[in-house]
Amino acid sequence: MTSEAISERSELLSVSRLAKSYGPIRILHDVSLSVPTRSIVGLVGENGAGKTTLFNIITGLARPDGGAMLYRGRPFTPHSYGEAFALGVSRVFQEQSLILNIPVYENMALSQEHRFTRFGQFVDRAAMIRAAERIVEDAGLDVDVRRNAGAYDFSRRQAIEIARACLAPKHLMGIEDPLVLLDEPTSALDKQDETAFLDLLARMKRHASFIFVSHRLSEVRAISDTVVVMKDGRTSGALSRDEADEKTLHGLMVGRDRADDYYHIDQQREVASERVVCHVHEFTDAEFRDVSFEVRAGEVLGIGGLLDSGKSALGKAVAGVRPPKIGAVGVAGRMRRRPSIHQLVREGLGYVPAERLVEGIVSAFSLAINLSLPSADRFSPFAIWRVDKERTAALDAIRRFGIRSGSPTVPMRNLSGGNQQKVVLARWLQRDLRVLVLDNPTRGVDAGAKEEIYQQIRHLTAQGVGVILITDELAELIGLANRILIMQRGAVVAEIPAPPDGKPTEHDLIPHMLPSAA
């Protein structure tokens, strides 16, 4: 089919009344949507709404129980990802799939190497390089395809993945106007890289169509032609960009209007006279230098900066995951140099890492076991593990956090990302906390779950827990923090008060984050 014929077709993909169950659990009930050619359709919904299952069906990783799909006007029922990809349907995940220790051009040709072989044995690397160069040139990327993918930072690698998904079908397979499913591609990007990514996506719309899943409603509204909302396995609305304000989307997603005080600013405490619960003194390491601060009982200390600012590395150092070469930290009034996380946990520190799947959970273990990981002393007195006590704690966490699991015995890998994150946060409520370090605690979490997490943070501060909040979400940083430290290239370059009646704006913070402001 020619590109002219495709361009004249109003719909590239049509999904009608899809249904899907796993055993007795119905995941999709009645899902319908359409994707016009060369358009961006935003797809939003709470964790567990069925977005991932829908993507799995479109890319051949799952078979529907009912309903139908049309792709390029023909029935579409792929039996595998390879079959879907051969027709021009691909998927970009938040966890990148590039192989870092091979050149970009080899990544561009993955699964298509046979197109560059001669006599079935010899690889024409020069032809492969030329094809990869056409892809990055069409995408407007300044990338040397001969360099290993790992030589580029996360943001640039994400751009390479998008270019591959949009343009490899054309340059390698002769397929015009492919369909690309974007599954939380910006969740690990800071504000500056997010803007660059959305600019790239707008350019790529000349070459492809997209279904774009993101929990950042502002970016969905900014880039999408249409926004489709999913709730409880159904599509509950399809809105134009002008209709899709954040409050309306939130209401369709969670079944209630978004609270006007989303960050519960009215519960922010005055902490000037409170005791110090955490003292960081002259922390220095490869990614940060000479960082000192105090956190008071009930305070939320926000830390912001670009991805290379060192803020996440600082969080790991404060928590004892990677102790700094120089400096000391005190949690229970006792200053320690190079303390381990085990020591700090015993003294009342908790830590929620940014990389949930890598550092936050053991996916094969049950919800109950993951919840109890840092609290062996509580669940195993006299070296006897109290399974009954562990189960009771898990049921309490499920109720308190609204975790959609069904059972404490469910494996963590079967939970949605937002419900996994709730477990990671809930585990620290099993302990007598003094300070909690949160690194991007709402990454990959829907709007409803975010609000619940914000309320839990306020509950902790009401109990006198000090919170160190490291986040790429500027609105979250501003809304939750009592004061904000801005880091740039490993150094704290600004401290900005954020009282309830005098919150800074994003425009107040961003100049301090950019190198030109140093």
DSSP 86-101: HTTEEEEESS----TT
Domain contains 70: yes
Has residue 340 been placed in a domain? Answer: yes
Residue finishing a domain among 410, 430, 450: 430
> 140 near 133, Cβ under 8 Å?
no
Residues 311 and 324 in one domain: yes
Domain check: are 333 and 386 in the same one? no
- C-alpha 42/C-alpha 171 separation (Å) is 26
203 & 287 share domain: no
Is the domain of 237 the same as that of 342?
Answer: no
Q: Are residues 126 and 48 in the same domain?
A: yes
Does a structural domain hold residue 259?
A: no
- Sort 399 into a burial class: Cβ within 10 Å, 0-12 / 13-18 / 19+: exposed
Determine the Cα–Cα distance for residues 301 and 305; give it in Å rounded to an integer.
14
- Calculate ∠ Cα 244-248-250, nearest 5°: 110
Phi, psi of 175 (to 5 degrees): -105, 120
CA distance linking residue 480 with residue 186, whole number of Å:
22
User: For residue 257, what pLDDT is reported?
Assistant: 54
- Does residue 356 form part of some domain? no
Question: Exposed, middle or buried, 260 (CB in 10 Å: 0-12/13-18/19+)?
Answer: exposed
What's the rounded Cα separation, in Å, for the pair 489 and 475? 22
Would you state the pLDDT for residue 494? 96
- Say if 302 falls within a structural domain: yes
Residue 394 lies in a domain: yes
Pairing of strands 483-488, 491-497: antiparallel
In this predicted structure, what is the pLDDT of residue 6?
A: 38
Q: Indicate the DSSP class of residue 427.
A: G
Determine the Cα–Cα distance for residues 504 and 475; give it in Å rounded to an integer. 10
Helix, strand, or coil (residue 260) = coil
Domain boundary among 381, 402, 430: 430
C-alpha to C-alpha distance for 191 and 199, rounded to whole angstroms: 12
pLDDT at 94: 67
Coil, strand or helix at 351: strand
Question: What was the pLDDT predicted at 285?
Answer: 93
In a domain, 357, yes or no: no
Q: Is the distance from CB of 349 to CB of 428 less than 8 angstroms?
A: no
As a residue count, the chain comes to 518
Which residues are CB-neighbours of 499 under 8 A, at least 6 positions away? 268, 482
Domain that includes residue 245, residue range? 3-254
Instruction: Determine the Cα–Cα distance for residues 278 and 339; give it in Å rounded to an integer.
Output: 13
Residue 93 shares a structural domain with residue 184 = yes
Q: Read out DSSP for 178-236?
A: -EEEEESTTTT--HHHHHHHHHHHHHHTTT-EEEEE-S-HHHHHHH-SEEEEEETTEEE
Q: How many domains does the chain have?
A: 3
Q: Pick from 430, 461, 480: which residue ends a domain?
A: 430
- Give yes or no: residues 410 and 440 share one domain: no
- Give the domain CATH number at 331: 3.40.50.300
Number of Cβ atoms within 10 Å of the Cβ of 82: 11
387 with 442, same domain?
no
Question: What is the end-to-end Cα distance of the chain in Å, rounded?
Answer: 54
Place of tokens 């930072």: 153
Token readout for 486 is 């801005």
Distance between CA atoms of residues 255 and 236, nearest Å: 10
What DSSP element (H or E) covers 469?
strand 466-470
Identify the segments of the chain with pLDDT beneath 70: 1-9, 94-95, 120, 188, 255-260, 379, 381-384, 405-406, 516-518
Q: Which residues, 6 or more positions from 293, have their beta carbon under 8 angstroms from its beta carbon?
A: 280, 301, 485, 492
Whether residue 177 sits in one domain with residue 52? yes
How far apart are alpha carbons 183 and 45 in whole angstroms?
Answer: 12
Q: Residue 97: its pLDDT value, please?
A: 80
Specify the pLDDT at position 384: 67
Confidence at residue 468, expressed as pLDDT on a 0 to 100 scale: 97
Please tell me whether residues 176 and 226 are part of one structural domain. yes
47 and 67: one domain? yes
CA atoms of 99 and 123, how far apart (whole Å) = 19
Say if CB 274 and CB 298 are below 8 A apart. yes
pLDDT computed for residue 298 by the predictor: 96
pLDDT at 211: 96
Q: Are residues 316 and 248 in the same domain?
A: no
Q: Which amino acid is at 299?
A: E
d(CA 514, CA 483): 19
Question: Mind giving me the DSSP string for 478-514?
Answer: HHH-SEEEEEETTEEEEEEE--TTSPPPHHHHHHHHS
Residue 234: Cβ within 10 Å count: 17
d(CA 244, CA 222): 10
Question: Other CB atoms closer than 10 Å to residue 473's CB: what's the count?
Answer: 20
User: 91 is written with which tokens?
Assistant: 């998927």
- Domain-located, residue 269: no
